[in-house]
């Protein structure tokens, strides 16, 4: 499926394969224990893939829950008629919890302050999730406080708790050992609560790395993001599952052509040398649109099947030197992807941008491109 960003006059194009998304979903589910609930992460505009398109397809597949930290994306989904459960990971101001619940979002209680607000508005709140920090040190009730907050603040106030979860991402063997220790602490909490007669419909601890690495399934749900989009974690055996990249490519078109008749120095301060016969082209892909490439790293994009050097980047444009090759306004330039040996890989884009691959991918969404 090809989508054009912004409007019909915007030359930036994104190729998202919803068939690959469907097949990835099927391959993930078939590797989970029967009855395990997939809650797909669609944070950051579905990892830059387009949250409306992704969640629309997930609903057609029968997926009944997604999760995001973006209130704006959650509102967009509801306005678009999406009916599945939208779990907010947290990070919002505590006082906003009742209003977010009223707008059809499942609120996460991730700190004592939110717990107090939710307890005070229990009669107006839909069921909530509780997040516990088991080592990440980001969002979540501290493990040593979680039991008391659940049994001493939320339940006595009549708050309906639908789910309990944690997040333990990792990317190497040392991280896996850390995650396993966190899982043990989380499971101990679940067992202590169960001994007190407190159980929840949904308990979730594993995300993409944990599922790929085959960590113990604590609970009855998983929350995967990368796997759904075919972005393989650095750990585990997901590379053998047949997962496919959902984002097939990002491209734009040439908006200006310069054919140079003599040696010249161009660009800000004259820092780039061009020779007689060289052609330079301008594309509408600058810093504001997520082009974070460092020209000192030698980035190259693809024009007419050949790689071309990016020689300058401004707020809204980038300039490429094609050498002696010809060009015309309207020519396609591949930013990411491609079907031949000149294809631009996500690893290259990340290296040129001094980012991790996932960060480089999401950066492309900065200007609303995706």
Task: Name every residue whose Cβ is closer than 8 Å to that of residue 254 and which is 6 or more positions away in sequence.
Answer: 281, 282, 283, 303, 327, 328, 329, 330, 331, 332, 333
What local confidence, expressed as pLDDT, does residue 341 receive? 79
Q: Can you give the pLDDT at residue 4?
A: 41
Threshold 0.75, pTM exceeds: yes
Percent of the chain at pLDDT > 70 equals 96
Give DSSP secondary structure letters for 220-246. SEE--SGGGGT---SSSSGGGTT---S
Residue identified by tokens 């708790």 is 161
What CATH number belongs to 18-234? 3.20.20.10
Do the beta carbons of residue 101 and residue 71 sit within 8 Å? no
The answer for residues whose C-beta is within 8 angstroms of residue 229's C-beta and 6 or more apart is 21, 24, 46, 47, 49, 245, 246, 247
Residue 287, burial from CB neighbour count under 10 angstroms (0-12, 13-18, 19+): middle
Distances (CA, A) of 81 to 4, 39, 57, 86, 348: 21, 19, 13, 12, 38
List the beta bridge partners of residue 206. Answer: 222
3-state helix, strand, coil split of the chain in percent (to 5) is: 35, 25, 40
For 7, counting Cβ atoms within 10 Å of its Cβ (0-12 exposed, 13-18 middle, 19+ buried), the class is exposed
Q: Which residues of the chain have pLDDT under 70?
A: 1-10, 366-370
Mean pLDDT of the chain: 93
Q: What is the pLDDT of residue 106?
A: 98
Give the residue extent of every domain in the chain: 18-234, 247-363
Looking at domain 247-363, what is its CATH homologous superfamily? Lyase, Ornithine Decarboxylase; Chain A, domain 1 (2.40.37.10)
Q: Are 303 and 327 in contact (CB under 8 A)?
A: yes
Q: What is the structure's pLDDT at 5?
A: 43
**Cα-Cα-Cα-Cα dihedral sign, residues 19, 21, 24, 26:** negative
**Residue 148 burial (CB count, 10 A):** 11
């Amino acid at each position: 499926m090809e989508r054009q960003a912004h409007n019909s006059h915007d030359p930036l194009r994104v190729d998202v394969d919803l068939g690959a998304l469907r097949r990835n979903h099927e391959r993930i589910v078939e590797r989970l224990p029967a009855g395990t609930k997939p809650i797909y992460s669609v944070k950051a505009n579905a990892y830059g893939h387009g949250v409306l398109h992704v969640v629309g397809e997930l609903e057609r597949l029968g997926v009944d829950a997604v999760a995001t930290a973006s209130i704006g994306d959650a509102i967009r989904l509801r306005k678009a008629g999406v009916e599945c459960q939208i779990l907010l990971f947290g990070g919002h101001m505590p006082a906003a919890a009742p209003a977010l619940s009223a707008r059809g979002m499942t609120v996460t209680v991730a700190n004592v302050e939110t717990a107090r607000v939710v307890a005070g508005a229990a009669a107006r709140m839909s069921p909530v999730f509780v997040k516990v920090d088991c080592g990440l040190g980001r969002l979540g009730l501290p493990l040593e406080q979680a039991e008391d907050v659940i049994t001493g603040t939320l339940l006595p106030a009549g708050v309906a708790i639908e789910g309990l979860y944690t997040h333990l991402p990792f990317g190497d063997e040392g991280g896996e050992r850390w995650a396993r220790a966190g899982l043990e602490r989380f499971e101990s909490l679940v067992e202590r609560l169960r001994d007190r007669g407190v159980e929840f419909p949904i308990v979730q601890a594993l995300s993409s790395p944990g599922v790929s690495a085959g960590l113990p399934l604590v609970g009855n749900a998983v929350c995967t993001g990368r796997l759904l989009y075919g972005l393989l974690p650095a750990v585990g055996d997901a590379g053998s599952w047949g997962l496919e990249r959902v984002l097939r490519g990002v491209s734009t078109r040439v908006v200006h052509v310069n054919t140079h008749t003599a040696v010249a120095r161009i660009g800000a301060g004259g820092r780039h040398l061009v020779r007689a016969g060289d052609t330079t082209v301008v594309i509408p892909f600058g810093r504001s649109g997520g082009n974070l490439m460092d020209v000192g790293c030698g980035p190259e994009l693809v024009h007419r099947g050949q790689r071309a050097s990016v020689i300058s980047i401004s707020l809204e444009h980038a300039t490429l030197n094609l050498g002696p090759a010809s060009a015309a306004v309207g020519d396609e330039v591949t930013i990411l992807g491609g079907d031949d040996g000149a294809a631009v890989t996500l690893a290259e884009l990340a290296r040129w941008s001094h980012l991790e691959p996932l960060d480089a991918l999401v950066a492309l969404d900065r200007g609303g491109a995706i």
